[in-house]
Structure 1
Amino acid sequence: MRATSSVIVGRDAETGLLDEALEGVGRKAGRAVFLVGEAGIGKSRLAGECALRAYDRDVPVLRGRATSTGLVVPFRPLVEALSSRFRAVGAPDHPELDPYRPALAGLVPEWRAGTVAPGYAISLVELAEALLRLLAVLGRERGCVILLEDLHDSDTETIAVVEYLVDNLADLPVLLVGTLRPDAGPALDLALAAELRNTAAVRELGPLDEDSVRDMVDACLDAAPDEVPPAAHRHLAQRAGGNPYLVEVLLADLLETGRLSRGGDGWRLADHGEATVPTGAVRSWARRLDRLDEPVRELLLLAATLGGRFSVGALRAVTGLDDRALFAHLRSASEAGIIAPDGAAHDHYTFRHVLTADALRASLPPAEQAALARRAATAIEQSSGELSGEQRQLVATLRLAAGDRETAARQFAQVGRQMLDAGASGSAAVLLERARGLAAEEERDEVTVHLAIAQAESGRLDAAAALLDDLPPAPAGSRAAEERAQAHTQVAWVATMAERQEEARRRIRAARALLGGAPRPEQEAALVVVEGHLALLPEQDGRADGRERLKEAERSARRAALTAEQRGRPMVACQAWQLLALLSRERGFDEADACLARMLSVAEKHRLATSRAEALVRLGTNAFMRTGEATPLETARAAAHELGSLALLQTVDGLLAMQSVLGARWDRAREIVEGSVEASARLQNVSAHRYLLLVDATLAAHQGRAREQERALARFRRAGGEESMLVPLQRGLCQAVGALMGEDRQRARDELDAARAWERAHPSFFYLSGRYGLRPLLGLLDGDDEGGRAAYREALASPGGQLAWNRMFLGLADAVSRGRDGDPDGARRAVAEAGRAAPVFPQAWHLALRLTAEAALADAWGEPVTWLRTAEEYFHEAGVPAVAGACRALLRQAGVSVPQRRGGRERIPAELRAAGVTPREYEVYVLLVDRPGNQQIARRLCISPRTVEKHMASLMAKTGAVDRSALCASSAERAEGREWAAPPGAPSA
């Protein structure tokens, strides 16, 4: 006789909500739904019904459950959810997921081989973004559902990932359904906060009313309406309190005891005693246990001691049974409907409901519960050598249940420290907090030190500071003082990365006080590296000694780097060399690259994957700035991809996008920005996000799209860009060039002057702000010979003057200066030298030609007409009318005919367009293949012979053909696809 319902009753509103949500994901209207209610109220039933309805729509479903054992296991429900989907079908093969595979491999063990670099811990936000992308790919055709049950039992990391998913589902084909109890805690806080933000729907499941209980009982018994005695319905409705699980438990008890039975005249209810809930449920399970064989009964009691979910290995260790007997008893308990195999893990079982395990434990007197817990803990400890983190937590939980608080504290603390070392700082904080509350007084301070580090690395700096400040004094130089000093140093590093300067300085002062006047060299090195990075941040106290601070930081960092290498602190050494690479840039990129090469060597020697990738990225950045080429950056991107660091990938993508803007590869730049800018915001990768927004604005500026530029700059400002180190690039590379695209020379100079003023007031490590290239050229062009030449000499002597982008503008500034001084040959050579960058930076080169031609016309040197025609053609095709119009105006001033912009210009080969050939002239030129006379051409084109004669003369002048015969020959050669003359406007010696 079945005592479980095959249908869901009394939940029409909730099933309607889930149906609506399932319909929405098919339209890429993602959402999250949280089902909240007490144990047994029907949350899992609704989740299961949602899964069935998704399967009916052929929608992929991923389903996972948090552990109910009280163990802190990072990402347990997420691991189960992915495994439930991919264990059989394998990893999805989609190129969009390539950057995210290393992060996803942290959740699916089968994906780990060869994907995660050693020495790197995937961050929570990177993992969350990877999971979001995976779900989006899975749901691309019909939508996707991820069901996460019992979130109240989840670890801190899972809650953080779920919050990230919930906040970013709106435009994705993904439905997230979470179930949790209404107990105060992070899961409930998450659900309620998401509801307030309108990013999730929360439905609290109340008890079933009497009518719904009646329908449920009838469904359990396959009974027709009014077939079951009303007294039975009343009994179950009153005793179960509307809880569906308790309805089933109590109904099963009625059936097994024979108080409810079916005879020839239908269902009958015998007299029975009254009982209350939950005592009735406890007694019900006790009676069911009494009817089982003694070995099965003892096995179930031991299993309940281990929690609502238990492993076969742990149960084997506790019971001492061989596999044959153990699995026979497990099979009997499963057939009795008490436990079931866990679908998410092949070697685990679960109680049919967590209340079952609670009820079984409650059926024993407290002393017997403690004895069983002590027996189980001892058996697990003795069953193997080194316990895993999960086993240690289980032992700690059992020791606590047995009343041994201090042993439990030590076990929790040890697992917490292991999780902290592995990067699971949130879970580490939970376990260390638990250990701190249980530890003996003499051990509590040591636990507190580790807890402070875990809190800081989890983003709770204030909590970390409070813990460290509450520690009792420790004698300077003692072991306790050294441990606390290291904690202060680590918290100071976190505060520095969060740009909380005052907090970082407080921690450094505290660390130095604990270490006394003579810290060991490696301790001093760690502090110096933090202080050096602090020196890079803008001062909040108004101090104006920034340059001196940087010089002192560099001297200290160099000593720290060498000390850290000698004293076996490779991570500190890498941080120091990275700092030195930045600080030494102003003396030249060779020295900066030497520091990065040393960082790379240390990282590779000690297998520090993160530091290795960061060194490659910075080396690639320097190479890009020197040459304009992207190959080294692509190599660095491959290293970041191998590492699995999404944050580092986004940093490289920003640099590659800027390189594409400078190289006039607009579509590539836009593709990179669109693919990374929102993800960087979700990852809270502030520096990369700001840079990508600036790239977006610079892209619009360089295309002459002023409105798009302002919209992008508004986003940049909202992200705090104007309080960042990117201001010189914003003013010089973006806004000044944008002004030139609008032919507003004065505004461009104002922007360049503002960038230079900012750089003089703040430490700056950017060299593409215009100060080292564009600004000297504009100064000379606008008649400021003295200022322009001084700016030219300053730029030429600086490392910034060696960058490919700047060398192009400086070369043309040199040409303008030489032409003005009466040295036309030297000016032409300078143009030719500058023109080496033309293939790398075509848009900037044509802008520079337009600017330089103005001076060449005035001073009578070079080939200004050819340059203007080339630039006019380029900017006309690029859709920048202001610059194209300025080129035409200068051509008219030079007395040169200006091409009319008729339709059909797109058919003219680029070389002929650059020479100024018009669409009508090109029609004449094409007919010259057969060497017709003027009369024949006139008849073909319906124009007069005199007009043909004028077109012929213009064509010979523009192409350089010496006579009509040469012009006809060039037309024939082009028609046959042979090589023609070099393009006009190309720089010549």
Structure 2
Amino acid sequence: MAQVLCPVLVGREREVAELDEALQAARIGRGRFVLVSGEAGIGKSRLAQALIERARLGGVTVASGRAVEGSSVAFRPLAEALNELVRDLGPPVDRDLEPYHAVLSTLVPSWAGRGQVVIQPGLVLLEGVLRLLRSIARRHALLVVLEDLQWADSDSLVALEYLADHVSSERVLLVGTERSGMPGMAADHLARLVSRRVAVRLKLGALADDAAQEMARVSLGVDFVPPVVLGAIRRRAEGVPFLIEEMLSAYLTAAATPDVVNEWRITGRIAESLPPSFRDLVHARLATLDGDSQQVVTAAATLGRTFEWPLLMTVTGLDRARVIACLRAAVAAHLLVGAASDVDAFSFRHALMREAVLGELLPPERAELAYRVAEAIEDQRPGLPGEWCERAAELRELAGDDLGACRLLQESARRALHRGALESAEASLRRAREQARGDYVLWMGVYTLLCEVLARAGKTEELVEMTRALVAEWERTMRHAPQSLARMVAGPRRAQIYLDAARAGLVGGDYALAGESLSKARGAAPEDEKVALRARSLEAAVQLAVGDPDTAAREASASLEAAERLGLHDVLHEALEISAMAAAEQGDHEMAASLFGRLCDSASRDGSTLWRLRALAALGAIESRRTGDTRSLDAARTLAVQTGAVSLLAAIDLELGWQRLALARFDEARTFFAAALDSCRLFALPQRPEALLGRAALYALQGKAEETRSSLRETLAEAGERSDVRAAALGEVEAVLALVNEDRARARALLKDATGRAARWRMGKPWFFGLCQLLDVVEGSGTATGLQGEPAIAAYGWYAEAVRLGRTRKPDDAAAALARADALMPPGWRRHHAHRIVAEAALADGWGDPAALAGAAIEFFETAGLRRIADASKRLQRLAGVPARRAGRGASTVPASLRPFGITSREMDVLALVGEGLSNASVAQQLFLSPRTVETHVKSLMRKAGTNTRAQLVAFAARHRSSGEPAND
């Protein structure tokens, strides 16, 4: 049969113009997702190919992928497109992509080996894909075409939704094709994207008569097409381009010779005998084949639209030469085409052709053939690598082999879980659950794996509900089960079901379920030492979660000894972590650091990357708080980047942000807090309240009152009822803002409120417990306590002890206490702020070298831009008899914008404080002036600024403060 293909795109001018407009928008960073929809054969792929050609001519980078019917391989169309990009362009060098290399290696095999994936939430992979597309599109705009989305797997659909939500500010155009009229998961998902207006649907309709006529003319390469042919095309093809081509091919075949074609001697009988439907056309083509060739074609249709021909020998029983001869006949009949890039692959010319071939089979024939194909696949593809497992499972389902399908669906789900394709894993297991109802042991295995998937996906409510239902169903079944089954799942196997339920309760926050399940696990295997040990370790984790570190420490310690003796490394690592965390909760950071170090060493020996990373991150946090040393944290961050552990990376960034904030290195702190906050927002991580609090604390230490209040409101709204965050908001944020403003009375009141609420914050007792104690002693209403334990708190205790000893005329002892405090307090603003407070007490009580303490504080706080504390330290230095560096009479530099007003340095001191809302009395107290002197300065300022009221003067100060010029040295 002659084959006719139209060489150009006809009748789609409007659609081409719309896609061109979308492509131009993507060039300037206004990406979008366009969904091209239409019936089979309407020209979706032609339009996409035309867009690809136009994009390439315009210098746009192009990648494409295709979903395949019957394939449940997660992310298949996206993986195909990404591999094309990386293969053609090479992997982009981009620091923003570093945390995602490991997780992206599941889609881009050439990146395998860049790190073992230890944590791979689905959302992390989606963000990695977005960042990869963004990185590639930086140089040239990017067009990604994904075809046949009606067959897309659930994970690909979730990925498309994520990309559609975030591509509007990227130089990326996503174009998908979808066959309309195919209800199902994909259709519903894509329809939601359109209804949410994150996708634009471009509907392809049938060609108008004049366009169909033009297509026929161009396809045949003639100036005139006989009316009898055009009439048949109008009646039969109904404006579908694919059918137009097929009918023209039939016409050329019927015309017999080119000479006859050129003369257009075609009779009405031939025209009217053209196939009345596409299925009839395919039926007619099949009828031209012999029996063996028909058998080969139907077996190929069962394998898929694209298939590997060597499998056909096993399915049909024909030898190699005969199968090749049959394939040649099917290609000649224009049913099949060979794949240019794979010598073993063939494809049906169109998805419609494959469907029509399958439609020729009766249901029993299809089931029998599906069974034979599944057997051939399992025989010829040992281990069922890649998508073969999913394909074999589909065939087993089609063949009615429920248990075989369930077995393969479970394996498919395990592989999807390893890849992080949680949606695909869940979908496979829900299908497997239906197939396994005839086999209780298999059904239990499916449920157990499904619970693990739900836990990894963060679906804790459903996890707890399903776990309770699973346990109840299992107990009901065991009451009525035969003795053989009861013996099969007795003892440790029965206990393991309860241990899994206990862990689900722990993950889901249902501690009652955890406790009940642990009790039942012990009862199911009372003599089994390993069961008892695992139960004890889980019990310790529950006790730590409910706020009982003492009990957790005892249980973990006992588990630790037994795990070492029995060689259970998973329990050993869990017990070490719980013991270390309990020690930190109890304030014994030295012991916690030792235990985390031991866990790190043990995990390194066992090759457990996840446990090593968790230990290294926790150890780094402790070292950072004790000494300011971040080497372990930096190493943990590198490992988190390599392994794609985004949740732990966010926690590490938070710790590094707090460490930089303690040093008053504001730009670096801002960078780390922003990175952590971005990760929390993108991946819905539980550390989001802490990240927001870190940002608020940054504003507070900088003295930015308005930004602090705004950020604090967001933090508290996000924190909900979390008492630790609410207490830290008082101590880390509001009290610090008061300290920066030298409002010690307010700071002390806030700290008392905070310490009354908080028992712990950031792995242990909050540092501001120590500051509260120091302020109490300075005010004469407290005693120095807490000289051991957490370093910062102990340091504040020794600072308080120095003040107490100096007050009791023991200068040498006071100096020794001060030295001990400095040895404990990590470097940063807290140490220098403590010096500013101690210097004031030393000056009043006549001991030590208050001028030197104040001088060091001045240098630190001036460099950090903390004007109020620096000014207070300058005043202390002057009172100690050492002149401070001054600009004129005041301590402030007059900005250039205020010099034309004739404002002096001393008036600048007053204006800055008045602008922050302080009364004359408060200003006088801050500047060591009399209220009358301050009043005189305020009147002079109002006169020079041309204001009539104090409120206008405050506004005047704010305008010049917002100009960006420094108000003070």
Question: Which region of structure 1 is more displaced relative to structure 2, 318-327 or 81-90?
Answer: 318-327
- Contact kept in structure 1, 2:36 and 2:178, CA below 8 Å: yes
Supply the distance in 1 between the matched residues of 2:534 and 2:675 (Cα, whole angstroms): 37
Partner of 2:516: 509
Over aligned residue pairs, what C-alpha RMSD do you find? 3.9
Supply the distance in 1 between the matched residues of 2:169 and 2:272 (Cα, whole angstroms): 54
Partner of 1:142: 140
Partner of 1:956: none
Partner of 1:814: 801
1:825 pairs with 2:783: no
- One of 468, 472, 476 as aligned partner of 2:470: 468
Paired residue type of 2:388: Q
Supply the distance in 2 between the matched residues of 1:491 and 1:233 (Cα, whole angstroms): 69
How far is the alpha carbon of 1:631 from its aligned partner? 0.9
Matches within 5 A, 1:443-454: 443=440, 445-446=443-444, 448-450=446-448, 452-453=450-451
Distance of aligned partners of 1:449 and 1:853 in 2 relative to their CA distance in 1, 3 Å threshold:
same
- Contact kept in structure 1, 2:495 and 2:521, CA below 8 Å: yes
How far is the alpha carbon of 1:630 from its aligned partner? 0.8
Paired residue type of 2:68: T
- One of 128, 131, 139 as aligned partner of 1:130: 128
Distance of aligned partners of 1:184 and 1:860 in 2 relative to their CA distance in 1, 3 Å threshold:
farther
TM-score (ref. length: structure 1): 0.79
Partner of 2:106: 106
Question: Which region of structure 1 is more displaced relative to structure 2, 733-742 or 553-562?
Answer: 553-562
Secondary structure in structure 2 of the residue aligned to 1:3: coil
- Contact kept in structure 1, 2:799 and 2:817, CA below 8 Å: yes
Partner of 1:884: 870
Supply the distance in 2 between the matched residues of 1:432 and 1:12 (Cα, whole angstroms): 46
1:608 pairs with 2:608: yes
- One of 785, 796, 813 as aligned partner of 1:793: 785
Supply the distance in 2 between the matched residues of 1:562 and 1:312 (Cα, whole angstroms): 59
Partner of 2:938: none
Structure 1 unaligned spans of 5+: 539-545, 908-917, 920-989
Q: Percent identity?
A: 32
1:774 pairs with 2:771: yes
Secondary structure in structure 1 of the residue aligned to 2:198: coil
Supply the distance in 2 between the matched residues of 1:747 and 1:10 (Cα, whole angstroms): 76
Distance of aligned partners of 1:674 and 1:5 in 2 relative to their CA distance in 1, 3 Å threshold:
farther
> For residues 302-328 of structure 1, what are the alpha-carbon distances to aligned partners after superposition, in whole Å with 9 as ceiling and x for unaligned?
211101122345345435677777667
Partner of 1:571: 570
How far is the alpha carbon of 1:358 from its aligned partner? 0.9
Partner of 2:673: 673
Paired residue type of 1:501: G
1:846 pairs with 2:842: no
Supply the distance in 2 between the matched residues of 1:741 and 1:461 (Cα, whole angstroms): 43
Partner of 1:522: 530
- Contact kept in structure 2, 1:406 and 1:438, CA below 8 Å: yes
> For residues 926-973 of structure 1, what are the alpha-carbon distances to aligned partners after superposition, in whole Å with 9 as ceiling and x for unaligned?
xxxxxxxxxxxxxxxxxxxxxxxxxxxxxxxxxxxxxxxxxxxxxxxx
Distance of aligned partners of 1:764 and 1:401 in 2 relative to their CA distance in 1, 3 Å threshold:
closer
Supply the distance in 2 between the matched residues of 1:450 and 1:251 (Cα, whole angstroms): 57
- Contact kept in structure 2, 1:370 and 1:402, CA below 8 Å: yes
> For residues 557-592 of structure 1, what are the alpha-carbon distances to aligned partners after superposition, in whole Å with 9 as ceiling and x for unaligned?
333444455556433432232122111221512322
Distance of aligned partners of 1:462 and 1:349 in 2 relative to their CA distance in 1, 3 Å threshold:
farther
Secondary structure in structure 1 of the residue aligned to 2:175: strand
- Contact kept in structure 1, 2:29 and 2:170, CA below 8 Å: yes
Supply the distance in 1 between the matched residues of 2:200 and 2:541 (Cα, whole angstroms): 44
1:855 pairs with 2:841: yes
How far is the alpha carbon of 1:740 from its aligned partner? 0.8
- Contact kept in structure 2, 1:64 and 1:80, CA below 8 Å: yes
Partner of 1:913: none
How far is the alpha carbon of 1:212 from its aligned partner? 4.4
Supply the distance in 2 between the matched residues of 1:313 and 1:505 (Cα, whole angstroms): 57
Supply the distance in 2 between the matched residues of 1:728 and 1:258 (Cα, whole angstroms): 89
Question: Which region of structure 1 is more displaced relative to structure 2, 323-332 or 439-448?
Answer: 323-332
Partner of 1:155: 153
How far is the alpha carbon of 1:657 from its aligned partner? 1.8
How far is the alpha carbon of 1:468 from its aligned partner? 1.9
1:408 pairs with 2:405: yes
Partner of 1:28: 29
Equivalenced residues, count = 877
Distance of aligned partners of 1:743 and 1:566 in 2 relative to their CA distance in 1, 3 Å threshold:
same
Supply the distance in 2 between the matched residues of 1:215 and 1:491 (Cα, whole angstroms): 68
How far is the alpha carbon of 1:66 from its aligned partner? 2.0
Partner of 2:941: none
Matches within 5 A, 1:303-452: 303-315=300-312, 317-318=314-315, 337-340=334-337, 348-383=345-380, 385-388=382-385, 390-417=387-414, 419-420=416-417, 424-439=421-436, 441-443=438-440, 445-446=443-444, 448-450=446-448, 452=450
How far is the alpha carbon of 1:637 from its aligned partner? 1.8
How far is the alpha carbon of 1:645 from its aligned partner? 1.5
Distance of aligned partners of 1:745 and 1:89 in 2 relative to their CA distance in 1, 3 Å threshold:
same
- Contact kept in structure 2, 1:104 and 1:127, CA below 8 Å: yes
> For residues 287-315 of structure 1, what are the alpha-carbon distances to aligned partners after superposition, in whole Å with 9 as ceiling and x for unaligned?
23444577655433321110112234534
- Contact kept in structure 2, 1:474 and 1:514, CA below 8 Å: no
Distance of aligned partners of 1:865 and 1:606 in 2 relative to their CA distance in 1, 3 Å threshold:
closer
Partner of 1:283: 280
> For residues 402-444 of structure 1, what are the alpha-carbon distances to aligned partners after superposition, in whole Å with 9 as ceiling and x for unaligned?
4444433443344445545665443233233323333462346
Partner of 1:599: 599
How far is the alpha carbon of 1:248 from its aligned partner? 3.4
Supply the distance in 2 between the matched residues of 1:292 and 1:574 (Cα, whole angstroms): 66
Distance of aligned partners of 1:197 and 1:396 in 2 relative to their CA distance in 1, 3 Å threshold:
closer
Secondary structure in structure 2 of the residue aligned to 1:58: coil
How far is the alpha carbon of 1:123 from its aligned partner? 2.8
1:493 pairs with 2:494: no
Paired residue type of 1:674: A
Secondary structure in structure 2 of the residue aligned to 1:283: helix
Secondary structure in structure 2 of the residue aligned to 1:849: helix
Supply the distance in 2 between the matched residues of 1:196 and 1:47 (Cα, whole angstroms): 23
Paired residue type of 1:823: K
Matches within 5 A, 1:27-66: 27-66=28-67
How far is the alpha carbon of 1:284 from its aligned partner? 1.0
How far is the alpha carbon of 1:72 from its aligned partner? 1.9
Paired residue type of 1:571: D
Distance of aligned partners of 1:401 and 1:745 in 2 relative to their CA distance in 1, 3 Å threshold:
same
Supply the distance in 1 between the matched residues of 2:265 and 2:579 (Cα, whole angstroms): 86
Distance of aligned partners of 1:260 and 1:820 in 2 relative to their CA distance in 1, 3 Å threshold:
farther
How far is the alpha carbon of 1:367 from its aligned partner? 4.7
> For residues 535-568 of structure 1, what are the alpha-carbon distances to aligned partners after superposition, in whole Å with 9 as ceiling and x for unaligned?
4446xxxxxxx5xx44333333333444455556
Partner of 1:642: 642
Paired residue type of 1:398: L
Secondary structure in structure 1 of the residue aligned to 2:35: strand
Supply the distance in 2 between the matched residues of 1:230 and 1:860 (Cα, whole angstroms): 115
Partner of 1:554: 553
TM-score (ref. length: structure 2): 0.81
- Contact kept in structure 2, 1:653 and 1:676, CA below 8 Å: yes
Secondary structure in structure 2 of the residue aligned to 1:875: helix
1:626 pairs with 2:626: yes
Structure 2 unaligned spans of 5+: 480-485, 894-903, 906-969
Supply the distance in 2 between the matched residues of 1:836 and 1:276 (Cα, whole angstroms): 96
Partner of 1:978: none
- Contact kept in structure 2, 1:690 and 1:719, CA below 8 Å: yes
> For residues 61-103 of structure 1, what are the alpha-carbon distances to aligned partners after superposition, in whole Å with 9 as ceiling and x for unaligned?
22222222x1321222222112212224432233332222111
